A and B are shown apart, each in its own frame.
Chain A
């Protein structure tokens, strides 16, 4: 995507979110903020996935695991009496890093359909781990006593503050990912997606770069989990269900892969569509599924191709 168009798109997207609470006040619809916070949190995860899927060419079908790790970090640390948001975020990253390192190191020894299946299987392993963790409610999950604190104060109990905190984290994640993709590291990552043989011939071993990207992506996704836990004040293994991982891929692809801001847009589109369909019919997944199948089949070179044709992007 043209950098100028991307900057404008980012400004429009983040700017619209920034003034959303005003709109909600005018409309008197406080539910809007709740939905928007959820969208923002998922946008962080979609952005994280785009970093490895769009730039690294790694189709991870297990990113929901990191949502769960972030969310459980809130539950576990809160129970231990640690309530600070910053520490919750660090806790999520501390859990996501070893998980991503180990599962990534194994998954990245393979590619193609193997990689997809193995990331899915490892996420399922994490899912079952928390399902059988009876100390935290097992399958049923656990309700949080309170949201994370900020500067020792219960500031996030206010929905609008939580909304802005999530928006700030999304923007930070976006800027971080933007820097990474434009860096030396990012060039190696993208080059490996384009042509791994060429990159090896000039002296790059793909593995350490891909693994590093995978870990960074997992850590960013865990941030999304921390914010989701705060938004719902509830943590359960359902967050790590493989359907979630699928939805994250849908978000990234709907918005157009490999340009970061598209992933944010995709999260908005996918979740609004879900929200809208679920108000129309209790059987909304049927229509969502139909939508997916039709869009893929209707565009000769896939959804990404369709978006490329419409958006004229890279």
Chain B
């Protein structure tokens, strides 16, 4: 039982780290630009598809990953140039409509280019196999690599945000947008950068999971909404909040699906527990979000209500 729990905890951590990569850019977009972007999930999907193609072209997942990063960065730049920058001064409603339109366009384009059938990319040789954890328990190396990559990215982001000039600007912008222009910062350029960099992080996340997940046109959507939950829990505009929120959501969602029914068996008969557990587990993170919001409407690390 302990082993199973540890295993699920690691899986939850891995999922959480992934959610963090997606939510990190998005929370800045929401917090600093007060911009609703529904098209962030599809970038994650594009990242996964690109790595499949690039890995096939180069014959190496590593090279594919290296190519995917600048490619998704470019996708972010192009989208910002063509669409997003024209929407900064618009109402949330306009932003919702336009980015919703983008979701339709990109999802459909992906289906036209790559087809609707799920694609896969093999796990690279050096990261395949598993390592022993406790006793008989083993854990796939690749998933550990995802966790490590995510944590390293988080560390890097933390460094950028807390130690650099750009980080100072981001923090100033997250707590008070008007202050950005008051400080004489080129707001447009900063926005472009946030978008492009956020897109790259999402693309990175997509590329990282491609070997362990079926790459299909729907993969961006559920992740997008979970990223919203992460951002709401963590507090809009806070990278720290996104990190905490992502780990909480990742672990609660993963562990809850396995242990929810087990825990329920303690209080009701097994058949009912299995049924109730199956229904409740996917709702768990949303219930968690509701509880956190009821207690702290601005989220765990949010500054504004």
Contact = CB atoms under 8 A, between A and B. Distances in A.
Contact of B278 (A132, A242, A297, A301): A132
Contact of A292 (B87, B101, B290): B101
Given A117-B228, A289-B105, A302-B90, A250 B97 contact: yes
Contact residue range for chain B?
Answer: 35 or more
Nearest to A102: B290
B90 to A, nearest CB: 6
A286 B231 contact: no
Interface in A92-128: 102-103, 106, 109-110, 112-114, 116-118, 120-122, 124-125, 128
Contacts of B94: 296, 302-303
B100 A292 contact: yes
A289 B221 contact: no
A131 interface: yes
Contact of B100 (A102, A132, A250): A250
A132 B282 contact: yes
Interface residues of A, number: 46
A208 to B, nearest CB: 17
A297 B106 CA distance: 17
A112 B286 contact: no
Contacts of A253: 93, 97
Which of B30, B104, B105, B111: most chain A CB closer than 10 A?
Answer: B104
A103 B222 CA distance: 20
Interface string B75-108: 0000000010011001111101110111111111
B275 interface: yes
Given A110-B293, A116-B92, A118-B293, A131 B282 contact: yes
A297 B83 contact: yes
A284 to B, nearest CB: 8
Contacts of B229: 121
Contacts of A122: 286, 290
A76 to B, nearest CB: 14
B279 A296 contact: no
B289 interface: yes
Main secondary structure of the interface of A (DSSP, over half): helix
A297 B100 contact: no
A175 interface: no
B104 A292 contact: yes
A43 to B, nearest CB: 19
A52 to B, nearest CB: 13
Contacts of A170: none
B287 interface: yes
A59 B90 CA distance: 14
A246 interface: yes
A293 interface: yes
Contacts of A103: 290
Contact of B294 (A61, A106, A242, A291): A106
A286 B104 contact: yes
Interface string B280-305: 01110011011001100100000001
A33 interface: no
Given A246-B100, A296-B87, A124 B105 contact: no
A283 interface: yes
A117 to B, nearest CB: 4
Contacts of B286: 121-122, 124-125, 128
A290 interface: yes
Contacts of B69: none
A181 to B, nearest CB: 19
A253 B86 CA distance: 19
B239 interface: no
B109 interface: yes
6 contacts: A59-B96, A118-B293, A246-B38, A288-B104, A292-B97, A293-B98
Given A106-B290, A117-B232, A286-B112, 4 more contacts: A103-B290, A129-B282, A292-B101, A293-B83
Interface of B: 30, 34-36, 38, 83, 86-87, 90-94, 96-98, 100-109, 111-112, 221-222, 225, 228-229, 231-232, 236, 275, 278-279, 281-283, 286-287, 289-290, 293-294, 297, 305
4 closest A-B pairs by CB: A292-B101, A289-B104, A125-B286, A289-B105
